[in-house]
Structure 1
């Protein structure tokens, strides 16, 4: 590895990554993993907290403990930790000063967009993505089951952004095998990410045994570095909807993806089940392709692959990820 390239953990620890859906975190502490760091997250009276998973006393799993008014209580001996990781109670020795070393690592944690986000670094390098439509009541959302793929987070996002694969990989879902050419499109770089818009003649579902109709769809890709993407669909035959994919890195070669969609509230009685079923089928097509790519880790250059203009969006995204690994500023998109 180039000596100027930072380790994977060092480069991406300063960013916010989701570790759980909000609905997964109830009254009991919850195990999580991020960048090869084992975590436990729990609810406090003022929000959510995240610390290392194992007790400083005897290495017990704090996920088997309980949340109290004082903090997170270990189920082995009752040692209790505040959200800052400091031990506040040792029941076996009341009235005796708590050892100064009785502390576990704590991390920034916040709840937003129906997700629990964690940043492992002392100070975040960037804010969370700004998705105001998910908080102003104008749309409803439906999550997919969490996706665990044996691929790097960057590789997964590149699949989401890949315009040229739609007609090949997604035949039988929405891909149109008759549309093999990728028409020229532009990529814009903004604060914290890239954007592109394309038009695609998707195939709608077959109804009543009739051949599927071409549903000319406008797609807008918004990418938030390092691993979040919003893809807005504006079809001609159906309601507009938007999907959100946030790949959370377990390690350099494995990730879990938090994936959900927003839709118009009037579709509440029909859209969720339909979306989950169709999107899981689409993502399974992507997973088969992505997990077979080599290397599994996100490439740090472009020399091992051959690219064409149709690849502009995933390649501009990769340039941003490489800049983060190198600790460099992200340059504007490369002109044609």
Structure 2
């Protein structure tokens, strides 16, 4: 790899991107702790939206998550120092007549709310926009249901790779929807874009039997759509049931640990979908977690030197190539390094 394409530190490479740090429903009237790329944050609601700043007070290092929200801003529980949305201290109760020091301010970060998530970008200028999932805006024809956050001891890229891996379905997910009798992965194409990847594959999933009947093979169309660096949308179109879509957005705590925000969209006419989804998908993801946390290294590999890859791995391969390009400052849709 040339000097121009040296691998950048993990935080430097991914700090310019938007990452989710909380579900919108978690952020209410009190400050909320969050963590992103080894940075401790406090989230809070303002009159104009959401704010994200350093977690600890500039005065004496108190945890601002123990504070409160006032009309002026975020108030520290230790001495009442209050910070406005810009991070600047606007009130010091112990000396109200004295000018506030210029250094009395918090580091603040870009924050936004979309798709039921609170997103943060740690860099002054985001390198890319938030993922575009326009179908979620129509709340009259689409309902959503989230899972509890997934805290896994693996890299965010490892999480996305297992979501994109068709070949594991028949083995890891036996007993849920995987079909152990039909493990072959037919050839498929991957569309490469500057902001992501797409692929479509038909999988012979096993649908549960009804009334004591054995499971039935349901040829399900799986449509994968990735937005770099760590957001995956997977649409399921079975022949026996209504379609639905899952969204998995991995948020890096560090290079070897992530939390994933995982939710589904579905048509409201599907009765009991929310309860069934939470129960079934939790079981499926637990199967994935056991495999993923056992992989080594936990950090996302930058090449394929320690692995033997085959054509069935094409989507995870293209995804890893793209993230390697991001780490080395190359165009993600350019030719791979030799």
Normalised by the size of structure 1, how large is the TM-score? 0.97
Runs ≥4 residues deviating over 2 A: 331-334
Partners of 1:140 and 1:264 within 8 A in 2: yes
Partners of 2:162 and 2:292 within 8 A in 1: yes
Q: Which residue of 1 aligns with 2:78?
A: 76
Q: Which residue of 1 aligns with 2:195?
A: 192
Residues 121-270 of structure 1 aligned to structure 2 (within 5 Å): 121-137=123-139, 138-267=141-270, 269-270=271-272
Partner residue of 2:295 out of 280, 293, 302: 293
2-side partners of 1:206 and 1:282: how far apart? Answer: 18
1-side partners of 2:195 and 2:41: how far apart? Answer: 27
TM superposition shift of 1:333: 7.6
Unaligned runs of 5+ in 2: none
Q: Secondary structure at the match of 2:315?
A: helix
TM superposition shift of 1:332: 5.1
Partners of 2:42 and 2:65 within 8 A in 1: yes
Is the counterpart of residue 91 in structure 1 residue 93 in structure 2? yes
Alignment deviations for residues 44-102 of structure 1 (CA, whole Å, 9 cap, x no partner) = 01000000000000000000000111110000000011111111111111121101111
2-side partners of 1:99 and 1:153: how far apart? Answer: 40
Partners of 2:167 and 2:313 within 8 A in 1: yes
Alignment deviations for residues 255-275 of structure 1 (CA, whole Å, 9 cap, x no partner) = 0000000000112x4100001
Alignment deviations for residues 174-212 of structure 1 (CA, whole Å, 9 cap, x no partner) = 000011111000000124000000001100013222110
Q: Secondary structure at the match of 2:181?
A: coil
Q: Which residue of 1 aligns with 2:69?
A: 67
Alignment deviations for residues 14-68 of structure 1 (CA, whole Å, 9 cap, x no partner) = 0000000011001000000000000000000100000000000000000000011
Is the counterpart of residue 111 in structure 1 residue 109 in structure 2? no
* Cα distance change, pair 230–277 in 1 and its aligned pair in 2 (3 A): same
Partners of 1:189 and 1:333 within 8 A in 2: no
Unaligned runs of 5+ in 1: none
Partners of 2:194 and 2:332 within 8 A in 1: no
Partners of 2:193 and 2:333 within 8 A in 1: no
TM superposition shift of 1:331: 2.7
2-side partners of 1:172 and 1:145: how far apart? Answer: 22
Alignment deviations for residues 291-310 of structure 1 (CA, whole Å, 9 cap, x no partner) = 00000000011111110000
Partners of 2:194 and 2:331 within 8 A in 1: no
Is the counterpart of residue 323 in structure 1 residue 330 in structure 2? no
Normalised by the size of structure 2, how large is the TM-score? 0.97
More moved, 249-258 vs 131-140: 131-140
Is the counterpart of residue 11 in structure 1 residue 13 in structure 2? yes
